[in-house]
Structure 1
Amino acid sequence: MENAECSNDSDSKASFVLSNLPEVVEKILSFLPTKMLLRSTCVCRLWRESARRILKTQQSMAWVTASELGAGEGHALVRDLARELEMVHVLPQTVLYVADLETFCGQEDTRERKKARRNSSAETAAALERLLPRGCQVVGVVAPGIVATPTASPNVRPLEVEEGEAGFALLFPNMDGVQIRTFCISNRSCSNKSLDKNKLAEAGLINNPDLKAVIVLGYGTWKAGFSRLLQDVLQPLNEKIIIIAGGFVEKLTSFNFQRNCLQDSYGVTGLAFSGAQVQGASVILCQDVMDVKTAEAAMQQLKAAGIPEKNTIGFMFACVGRGQQYYGNKMNVEADAFRKTFPTVPLFGFFGNGEIGCDRIVTGSFSLRECSSRLKDELIHYYTTITVLIHLGSTKEDYH
C-alpha cells in the first residue's frame, strides 16, 4: 500500500514538473529527434512553445549518405533517408540530393525500356520526396558517380563512388542570416529562344546584392540549345564577385515547384546562397594535377583562402575522366587530399561530363577572382575537378 502511495506521489511530482517548469521541459525535449519533437507539440501549450524554441536553434545542416554494393528493394538513398529522418535534429527546408544514374533510373538503355526507365526514376524520386516535410524545396539529380562523406560524422573519410548504388541528401534548415533558394531555368522558361530575365530575378540570381554563392547543375546538356541557355544564365552571374561552381549531370529527377522542368527539357538548376555571413572559395584542379602531391598542393591553395571551417560544406565536381583510372589506379585521391587539408569539413559532389567554376575567393572583407575575356574559358571546363568551400556563418548553440 505504501509503495502504491509513493508511486502516485512520484507520478504527481513528475506531472507537475512536465506541466509547469519550462526550463526542465525544454532540456528534456531537446534530446528528441526533430520528428518526435514535432509530435510532442500536440501534448500541451508548454510543450508546443518549448518545441518551437528548440527548433529555432537547430540551424546546422545535416546529411544522409547511402552506398551499397548489393541491390535491395528501392534505392539505397530512399531507404537510408527514411531511417535517418527519424533520428536527425533538423527540420529540412531545402534539400539537394544526388544519386547514381545506374540504379536510380534503371540500367536498361534499349529503346523499348526508355519509358520504363522514366517511370522508375519518377517513382523513386516521388518516394524520396514523400519522406520530406511538406513545402520543403527539393532539387534532385543523377550523375555517373558520387562523392560523399558518410552519414556518421564530418570527420569520416569522404568517398569517391564511381560504380554502384550510392547517393546523398543535404538537409538545410532555416538559418539566421542565410537564405538558400532553389532554382530551375529550363528551355520552357524561354520565349523565342531568349531567356526571360524575370526568371533569373525570381531565382535570386540577379538584383540580389546579398548573393554570395551559386551551385549550378546543367541537365540535358547534349540537347541543342543547352549551351546558349547555360551562357545566358552564367553571364550575369559572372559579372558579380560570387562563387559559381557545379557541373553537368545526367538528369534532373526532382524539382517540386516546377514540374515542367522534368519533361523532356534541358536547363540549369541548383541552389543560390545569400547572406552577409556567407563566404566561399573555389579552386580548379586542372590536367597538371595528376598525382597525390599535386592534388594536396591544390587543396592548400583552397586552404589559403582562409574560409572558416566550422559550419562549412565542401563540394567537389569532377570529370568522369578523372578518379581512380586517372590517378594510376589509386582510389579516392582527390577526396583524401581534401580531407587531409579540411578534416572537419564534409565533402559532397559527383562525377559528370563537364565542370563549372573558377579560382575565386569571396569573404566579408576580401574578394579575388581570376578573370578571362571569354566566359567559356573562365567557367566551363572539361577533364578538371572544381573544389569548393561554402561557409554558412555561425550558428546558435545546440541545446545538447
Structure 2
Amino acid sequence: MAETDGVSLSPLQLPNIVRDVLDFCDGRSLCNSLQVNHLWHQTASSLLKRRCRFSSLLVTGESMNECAEKARRFVVSVRSIPAAVIAFAYGVRRRKTYEKGMAAIYRALPRGTKMIGALVDGIIGMTETGVAEEILEAEEDEVCLSVLVVPKVPGLTVQTFNCGENFSRSVCPTMSSSDYIEMFEGFNFNSVKLIITLETMRLDRYLGMTSVPNNFLEFMLSSCGHGSQIVGGVPEPYSIFIDGTLHREAVVAGMALGGDAFSYGALVSNGDKYEIDEQLQHLRLQVELSQLMNMACFLCICVGRGECLHGEKSVESRLIQKRFSGVPICGFFGQGEVGVMGTHDFTPSQPTQNPEESIESPSAKKPRRKSKRNLAQGFTSSYGFMLIHPPKSKSVSM
C-alpha cells in the first residue's frame, strides 16, 4: 500500500499505475473500466479517445487460409472496438476457399460488427512496416488480403446494403422512388454521409456499364441528402461478402457510413500523378495535423492505370502517404469505378439531415436530383477519405 498525506492507497488508485494497467486492456475491457470510479473513468476515456483510430494491414501468403488467419489475428489484436471491417482478397482461385477465409475473419469480430468484402483483380493496402503498396500482378500461387478496421465511436453509424437479382427490375428507368425504397426497408438514409459501393459486371446484362447504376446511385445520393457522396468500384463477379455471408447473387452492395462523429472527403480523377497530387494537396489543407491519426482512405483504381499509366508501382497510394502521413489505406484495382468526378471537400462533423425527419421516408424529402452525370466510369481513381471525431471526455458521478 502507498501512502499520500497519511492516507493508504491501493496501487490501483495511483494514476500512473492505473494508466499502465489499462493500457494493456482491449477496447471492450476499457469500456467496462469506465464504471469503476472517477480515476478509472478519466483514464479509460483518455485511452479510448487515443484508440479511435483506423487500422489497416496487407498480408500475403501461399493460401487464403494462411492470409485469413493472419488477418484474423490482426483484427483481434486491434486495440479499438471494431464497428466495421472492409476486406479485399486477391489471387484466390476457389470461391469456397475464399468464403471460408472471409467467414473466419467475420467470426472473430464482436457481435454486431459490419463487414463487406470481395475478390478483386488487384489489391491496395498497408504492409506491416506501414508502407502503402499496390499489387496488380502477384507471384504465382500468392494470395493477398487487405483489411481495414473501422473503430467504434459514439456518433458513428455503419450500415450495409445488398441488392440482388431483383435489382434487374429496379434499374429500369420506369421504376419509381417507392420501388427503390422497398429494397431498403429499415435503412437510415438520414445518417449517411459516405457510401462505399461494390458493383459486379453483371450490370452489363441490363443497360450497359456506363448507365446501369446511375438511376440507383442517384436515388441513393438524393435520399441521403446533399451532404452525401459515393465512391467504389467493380470487383470480380459472384464474390461480394456481406456480414458473414457470400452473396453470389449480389449486383450492387456496399457500406454506408455517417453520423455526427463522421466526416469525409472524396476525389474521383482521371488525371495523371501530378494532377492527382494537386487534388490531394487541396484536400489535405482542409484537415488539421492532429486529425490525421483519426483518418483512413478507401481507394479504387482502374486496372488500366497503375504502373501502365504512371510508369512505376504504387504511385497513387504513396501520393496519399505523402500528403496524409500515417493514414491507413485499403482498396483494390477494379474493372470500373464509382463516384462523382472532381474533388469533394471535407464535410463538417454535423448531421446532414434534420433529426426530426423520418429515417425511413426518403420520398418525403426534396425531389431527386435530375443530374445526367455518370456515376460509373472507367480509367479513373475513386478516393474516399474517412475522418472520425473522437468523443469528448465527460465526468461520471459515482
- CA–CA distance in structure 1, aligned partners of residues 73 and 233 of structure 2: 30
Render the CA deviation track for 1:226-280: whole Å, top value 9, x for unaligned: 86873343112333322211111114442127x4xx4441322222122234322
Partner amino acid for 1:324?
A: E
Q: State the partner residue of 1:17.
A: 10
Partner amino acid for 1:124?
A: G
Partner amino acid for 2:279?
A: A
Q: State the partner residue of 2:150.
A: 172
Partner amino acid for 2:381?
A: T
The yes-or-no answer on 1:187 pairing with 2:198 is no
Map 1:125-136 onto structure 2 (within 5 A). Answer: 125-136=102-113
The yes-or-no answer on 1:161 pairing with 2:135 is yes
What is the CA-CA distance between 1:383 and the residue it aligns to? Answer: 0.7
- Structure-2 change in CA distance of 1:38 and 1:130 (3 Å): same
What is the CA-CA distance between 1:38 and the residue it aligns to? Answer: 4.3
- CA–CA distance in structure 2, aligned partners of residues 128 and 176 of structure 1: 24
Q: State the partner residue of 1:284.
A: 268
- CA–CA distance in structure 2, aligned partners of residues 84 and 144 of structure 1: 23
What is the CA-CA distance between 1:126 and the residue it aligns to? Answer: 1.8
Map 1:281-360 onto structure 2 (within 5 A). Answer: 281-286=265-270, 289-290=271-272, 292-303=273-284, 306-308=286-288, 309-310=291-292, 311-328=294-311, 330-358=312-340, 359=342, 360=344
Q: State the partner residue of 1:256.
A: 243
- CA–CA distance in structure 2, aligned partners of residues 201 and 168 of structure 1: 31
Q: State the partner residue of 2:125.
A: 148
Q: Does structure 1 retain, via aligned residues, the 8 Å contact 2:56–2:125?
A: no
Q: Does structure 2 retain, via aligned residues, the 8 Å contact 1:217–1:269?
A: yes
The yes-or-no answer on 1:74 pairing with 2:55 is no
- CA–CA distance in structure 2, aligned partners of residues 267 and 214 of structure 1: 16
Q: State the partner residue of 1:393.
A: 389
1:87 corresponds, among 66, 77, 95, to 77
Q: Please tell me the root mean square deviation across aligned C-alpha atoms, in Å.
A: 3.8
Q: Does structure 2 retain, via aligned residues, the 8 Å contact 1:319–1:383?
A: yes
Q: Does structure 1 retain, via aligned residues, the 8 Å contact 2:80–2:152?
A: no
TM-score (norm 2): 0.73
- Identify the structure with bigger relative contact order (alpha carbons < 8 Å, sequence gap 6+): 2
What is the CA-CA distance between 1:188 and the residue it aligns to? Answer: 4.5
- CA–CA distance in structure 2, aligned partners of residues 247 and 87 of structure 1: 29
Q: State the partner residue of 2:364.
A: none
Q: State the partner residue of 2:23.
A: 31
Partner amino acid for 2:387?
A: H
Q: State the partner residue of 2:195.
A: 214
Secondary structure of the residue aligned to 2:309 is coil
Alignment length, in residue pairs?
Answer: 346
What is the CA-CA distance between 1:320 and the residue it aligns to? Answer: 0.6
- Structure-2 change in CA distance of 1:26 and 1:229 (3 Å): farther
- Structure-2 change in CA distance of 1:345 and 1:63 (3 Å): closer
What is the CA-CA distance between 1:353 and the residue it aligns to? Answer: 0.7
Partner amino acid for 1:17?
A: S
Partner amino acid for 2:249?
A: S
Q: State the partner residue of 1:98.
A: 88
- CA–CA distance in structure 2, aligned partners of residues 293 and 213 of structure 1: 26
What is the CA-CA distance between 1:191 and the residue it aligns to? Answer: 7.2
Q: State the partner residue of 1:273.
A: 257
- CA–CA distance in structure 2, aligned partners of residues 99 and 396 of structure 1: 37
Secondary structure of the residue aligned to 1:322 is coil
Secondary structure of the residue aligned to 2:19 is helix
- CA–CA distance in structure 2, aligned partners of residues 278 and 254 of structure 1: 24
- CA–CA distance in structure 2, aligned partners of residues 339 and 39 of structure 1: 31
- CA–CA distance in structure 2, aligned partners of residues 99 and 219 of structure 1: 15
Q: State the partner residue of 1:245.
A: 231
Q: State the partner residue of 1:122.
A: 99
Q: State the partner residue of 1:203.
A: 187
Radius of gyration: which is bigger?
1
- CA–CA distance in structure 1, aligned partners of residues 349 and 95 of structure 2: 47
- CA–CA distance in structure 2, aligned partners of residues 393 and 313 of structure 1: 12
- Structure-2 change in CA distance of 1:275 and 1:365 (3 Å): closer
- Structure-2 change in CA distance of 1:365 and 1:266 (3 Å): closer
Secondary structure of the residue aligned to 1:184 is strand
Q: State the partner residue of 2:371.
A: 373
Q: State the partner residue of 1:114.
A: none
Deviates more, 1:192-201 or 1:214-223: 192-201
The yes-or-no answer on 1:361 pairing with 2:345 is yes
Where structure 1 has 5 or more consecutive residues not aligned to the other structure, the ranges are: 1-8, 11-15, 107-116
What is the CA-CA distance between 1:23 and the residue it aligns to? Answer: 5.1
- Structure-2 change in CA distance of 1:61 and 1:142 (3 Å): farther
Q: State the partner residue of 2:363.
A: none
Where structure 2 has 5 or more consecutive residues not aligned to the other structure, the ranges are: 3-8, 353-368, 394-398
Secondary structure of the residue aligned to 1:119 is helix
* Aligned residues with identical type, % of pairs: 20
Q: Does structure 1 retain, via aligned residues, the 8 Å contact 2:76–2:109?
A: no
